[in-house]
Structures are given as C-alpha cells and as structure tokens.
Copies of this chain bind each other. A is one copy, B any other.
Amino acid sequence: MTSSAKKSVSATSVDTTDKAALNKKQSRLQQVFPILGWLSQYRKETLVNDGLAGIIVAIMLVPQGMAYAFLAGLPPQMGLYAGIIPLFIYALLGSSRSLAVGPVAIASLMVGEAVSQHAQPGTDLYITTAMVLALLVGVVLLLMFILRLGTLVNFLSHSVITGFTSAAALMIAFSQLKYVFGLEFPRGHHFYETLNNLTINLPSLNPATLVVGLTAFFMMWFSKNHLAAALKKLGASDLLASSMAKAGPMFAILAGVGMVVGFDLNDQYGVKIIGEIPAGLPSVSLLPFEMDWWLGLLPAAVLIALVGFLESVSVGTALASKRRERIMPDKELIALGFANIGAAFGGAYPVAGGFGRSMVNDASGAQTTVASVITASGLALTVLYFTPWFYYLPKAVLGVIVIMAVLPLIDLSGIKKTWNFNRADALTLAVTFGMVLVAGVEAGLLAGMVLSVALLLQRTSHPHIAVVGRVGDSEHFRNVKRFEVKTNPCCLGLRIDENLYFANTRYIEDEVMAIVSEQPQLQHLVLICNGISFIDASALETLEMMIENLRESGITLHLSDVKGPVMDQLKQTHFLQHLAPGQVYLSTHEAMRDLCDL
C-alpha cells in the first residue's frame, strides 16, 4: 500500500493507521539499529553473558591493540583508541551478535605498507595519514553499500584468500622477529628487506630481550594449550579455566613487565620498552583535506575495505550459522563504514571484525553487541587509568603476541587440499602467496584476483565437448568415450558443457567443424544444450554462421534440452527462423528418435 493510497482511508480507521505507522516506524528504526530488536528482549542473564565475554575480549584486545598499532608503525595508544569509538558504533549498527570489531593484524600490515609510502614512520604526518585512511576506508564501505557492491567480496576466491592470508601472516610474523631478537633496523617495504635486515643484524641480537620474548612465548603457548586442563585439575570451574586460558597475552605482559622492572632489564641490559603512553580518551580531531594526498590513499583504502569487510563477513557468517541465523552483509557495510569513520575522528586507524577475537567473544558467551559496549568501556578505562602500567612493557612481548595471533592463519592443510583438487586454484594460491611476499600485500592481492579471473576465462574458453550416444534402451545419452552407447552415423549428438560466450565461440566453432568433418554420412547434428545457461551476442553470431556453414555441407543443425531462460532469449531474435528446418527438441531422446530412429 503506497502512502497516497493510505491517505484515502476513511477517518474511522485513523487509529489503526496510526498504530501501523508507529509499528512501521519502530521496525524501520530496528532496521537501522539492529540492537533495538535485541534490547527489547534483553534479560539479566544475557547481560551476565555479554559482560563476561566483553571483559575477556577487552583483556585480549588491550595487548593486541597495542601490538597491532606497532605493526602498522603507529604509537600503541592508537591501537587502544581503535577499540573504543568504533566498537560503540558497531554495537549500535552491526547485524552480527558476536563479531568483535577493532584493530586486526592483516589490515594493520596493509595500513603500515600504505601509510609508509606517504609519510615517515614516527612523524605526525604518518599518524594523520593513518587516520585519513580510516576515513577513506569508511567512505569506501558506505559507497559499497550505496552502489550495492557488497558482492565484490565474492570475487575473492578461496585460493586468493588462502594465499593472501598465509603470506601476509608470514610477513607479519617475520616483521615481529626484530622485536623478539632486540634488533634495530628501519621498517622495510618488502619481505626480502626484512629477511635481509634480520640476517645482517642477527649478530647484534640482545640476549635479555630474547629471554623475555621466549618467556612470553612459552606462557602464551602454555595458556592456550594446557592451562585450562591444569586449572581444572586444581579444581577450578570450567568457566574460570577457559577464561584464564584466553588471558595468555595478559599473563605474558605481566611477566614481561615484572622481568623488566625486577631485573632493571631496560637500563642495564637494553631491553626495549614501550615507554610513556599518553593517558586519557582520544580527542576528536579534524582531518586536513588535500585532494592529491587523499586520492593517493584511495587504492589502499579500497583494498583495506575489501579485506576488512571480507574478514568480518566470513567470521560473522560462520558464527551466525551456528545459531541458524544470518548476518546481513548490507548492514555490515554500514556498520563497518561508520565504525571506520568513527575510528578516523576518534584518533584511531582502520578497523574490522577480527577473526580470533570474534571466535573468543562467541565462545565466551556473547549474545548481543552489548558485549562490544563492555569491551569498549574496558578499553576506555584502560586508556584513562591504566596506561602507566604498560610503561615497562617490553616490545618483545608485543611482538610475540602478534606472532601467536597470526601463526594459525598460515593454512598449510588448505594449500595441500587445493593442490590435490585443482591445479588452476593451486596456481592462483601460489602466485598470490608469492606476489604478496615479493611485491607486497596490495600487489599480491590484485595479482591473485586478476589471475583467478584470467584462469576462469581460460578454463571456460576451452569447454568440454562430448559426442554422446544412447545408453542401452534408456532415454539417456552419455559421452561415447566413457560409456557403452549406441550411435548412428547419420545423426550426431554433441554436448557442449559450457555457456556460449565470447571467449569460447571460436574454439567451439573450430571443434564442432573438426568433429563434423570426420563424419561423412552425417545429416543431422544435434547440439545438446543442457550445459548452456546463457548465450551472448558473440555466440549468437557464431551459431548463425555455423548453421549456414553446416547447411552448405548438407547438414541440418538442431538443438535439444534448451533451458527456459536461453529459449526466451533466442525467441527475441530471428534465430529460430535461421535454424529452420532445424528444430528445437525438448530432449535428446526425442531428437534422436525423430531424426534417426535411435
């Protein structure tokens, strides 16, 4: 019912109309703010669950935030800020109940790569550029929503994602080794620079730093793999045990700070620490506009938006499907878009839904985005009151936290499986992986996307064409090379297993003509179209030429098993007149029975 139609309703029904309008308004509000739908049914138990999950994620996010900011070449507080305003915004707008938004590893790497091409690390310009990048990422996400381009992530194939993620994780892990070994060299733009710098500088490694790093590593490894079991043996509750197991990074930080302070490792042994983190909430900042500068950042912003959105949607979908729910990709574009714009003006850098933290958030019992509000509040308290506690935090510990977070992303079994299944996919994976390491994350991702499309075209440009025959006395026709079938030399059935479009029309024409030239007695050629879902203008042109060429050789072309949508399309042209006296048969069986009594 349109609004003008509503206006013509008589006065007696005004009340109902008002109520309907109210309901409609409510549901519209709910559409914009999914949280309203949950809050109306919000109960105390839910708050307990959300609260616990929010606190556990905050405990993970504090060290991760600082570590990821480091990875992006930014001061640690920016990683903490990235866990405040964006989370409040996501809580209001997001459609996933348990996605944990914030700074993430791969986007941080991409931010570092992109920003360091426009500014020197450590400068104010570097920081401002990262914030502008967050704004651009937000705008790109909103544009993707407006232009309905959310489906763009579908063009990232599994192989591209696996190759990209594995290589990026490897780069991230190696980039952190300098902190773990206590080496000092400038950030390299390429993986081989990092490797080279590591090798050259290895002799000057700082043993005390390495000890701190290895201790952190051991504590995190133990927490993750054995702490829960150990605590349960000691009689702890399941909840406590599993919560403690997730606090590994926090333990590592405590141990690290303890060692530095206890043994004066910073002054006496040269263990690098974070130093002062400015306390207090971030101030809302205005961003300077300069066309060239912004435009230069745009390509990076598009890729970061794409990767960030992909990670968020993937993990969001996985978590939602466990409860037989669905997330709404469009809503996610809006929520992540505004979260990034919030990040930009809230002194942070690009954010996304993190894989690891979201899993923890869900496993810890988060039921609504109220959990995110709790996490954000935790981070706000941290930057307000607890930053001095991290003064003595060794950089080596942050390095280990990053390494532990990204190692599971290196998907060796996925690589092996892809290799076994499909060499084209394996090639895409290998090229993406290699290009990320050799030419950087952006170039690698683009190369992978281009290659996956090119290989798709390549694959569909040489379609499988089968000569078919009748299986026994059934109505089925199968490939003569694979089955015992009956054929008739006057009448040939050809099945083309691909859509007919510009990249394969020439090939198909050549192949069909070659097959026909080997059949001197041939009178009727039946093209079996059950594998053809569309025919484009190039193919239509070729088909009409083929009809003529075959006719000149005394052969009539027929079609069978043409799908409905294709038939609709053909009927809009003069094709069927061109085809006559050739016919379109419902099935191959009918065609063969009519044409050659097979």
Interface residues of A (CB under 8 A from B): 151, 154-160, 321, 417-418, 420-422, 424-426, 429, 452-453, 456-457, 459-461, 463-464, 466, 474-476, 479, 482, 497-499, 501-507, 530-531, 533-534, 536-538, 540-541, 549, 563-565, 569, 572-573, 586-587
Residues of B within 8 A of A536 (CB): 157-159, 422, 424-425
Q: Are A154 and B464 in contact, with the CB atoms below 8 A?
A: no
The residue from B155, B420, B426 contacting A502, defined by CB atoms under 8 A apart: B155
Q: Are A502 and B154 in contact, with the CB atoms below 8 A?
A: yes
Complex Cα spacing A93 to B373, Å: 75
Residues of B within 8 A of A565 (CB): 464, 497
Q: Distance in Å from the Cβ of A312 to the closest Cβ of chain B?
A: 14
Q: Which residue of B lies closest to A461 (CB)?
A: B154
Q: A452-B502, A475-B474 are in contact. Are A157 and B538 (CB under 8 A)?
A: yes
Complex Cα spacing A285 to B534, Å: 52
Q: Which residue of B lies closest to A553 (CB)?
A: B324
- 28 cross-chain CB contacts under 8 A: A154-B461, A154-B502, A154-B504, A154-B507, A155-B503, A156-B502, A157-B536, A158-B538, A159-B537, A417-B573, A420-B572, A421-B540, A421-B569, A421-B572, A425-B536, A452-B502, A453-B457, A456-B501, A460-B499, A464-B565, A466-B564, A475-B475, A476-B587, A482-B564, A497-B565, A498-B533, A531-B533, A531-B563
Q: Are B564 and A422 in contact, with the CB atoms below 8 A?
A: no
Q: A155-B503, A564-B482 are in contact. Are A531 and B530 (CB under 8 A)?
A: yes
Among A453, A504, A531, max chain B CB count under 10 A is at A531
Complex Cα spacing A466 to B534, Å: 15
7 additional A-B residue pairs with CB within 8 Å, beyond A155-B502, A159-B536, A421-B572: A154-B507, A155-B503, A157-B537, A158-B502, A321-B549, A425-B537, A531-B531
Complex Cα spacing A151 to B505, Å: 11
Residues of B within 8 A of A160 (CB): 502
Residues of B within 8 A of A452 (CB): 502
Residues of B within 8 A of A421 (CB): 537, 540, 569, 572-573
Q: Distance in Å from the Cβ of A237 to the closest Cβ of chain B?
A: 29
Residues of B within 8 A of A530 (CB): 530-531
Q: Are B506 and A461 in contact, with the CB atoms below 8 A?
A: no
Residues of B within 8 A of A497 (CB): 533, 563, 565
Q: Are A463 and B533 in contact, with the CB atoms below 8 A?
A: yes
Q: Distance in Å from the Cβ of A455 to the closest Cβ of chain B?
A: 9
Q: Are B457 and A418 in contact, with the CB atoms below 8 A?
A: no
The residue from B151, B537, B569 contacting A158, defined by CB atoms under 8 A apart: B537
Q: Distance in Å from the Cβ of A267 to the closest Cβ of chain B?
A: 53
Q: Distance in Å from the Cβ of A520 to the closest Cβ of chain B?
A: 14
Q: Are A158 and B504 in contact, with the CB atoms below 8 A?
A: no
The residue from B155, B156, B479, B533 contacting A564, defined by CB atoms under 8 A apart: B479
Among A155, A156, A505, max chain B CB count under 10 A is at A155
Q: Are A534 and B321 in contact, with the CB atoms below 8 A?
A: no
Residues of B within 8 A of A537 (CB): 157-159, 417-418, 421-422, 425-426, 429
Complex Cα spacing A267 to B507, Å: 59
Q: Which residue of B lies closest to A459 (CB)?
A: B534
The residue from B154, B321, B531, B573 contacting A420, defined by CB atoms under 8 A apart: B573
Among A424, A426, A538, max chain B CB count under 10 A is at A538
Q: Distance in Å from the Cβ of A419 to the closest Cβ of chain B?
A: 9
Complex Cα spacing A569 to B417, Å: 12
In the A-B complex, the 4 residue pairs with the smallest Cβ-Cβ separation, listed nearest first, are A157-B502, A158-B538, A425-B537, A497-B533
Q: Distance in Å from the Cβ of A20 to the closest Cβ of chain B?
A: 27
Residues of B within 8 A of A479 (CB): 564
Complex Cα spacing A580 to B215, Å: 47
Q: A420-B573, A482-B564, A533-B497 are in contact. Are A506 and B475 (CB under 8 A)?
A: no
Complex Cα spacing A476 to B475, Å: 9
The residue from B157, B461, B540 contacting A151, defined by CB atoms under 8 A apart: B461
Q: Which residue of B lies closest to A574 (CB)?
A: B417
Complex Cα spacing A424 to B540, Å: 14
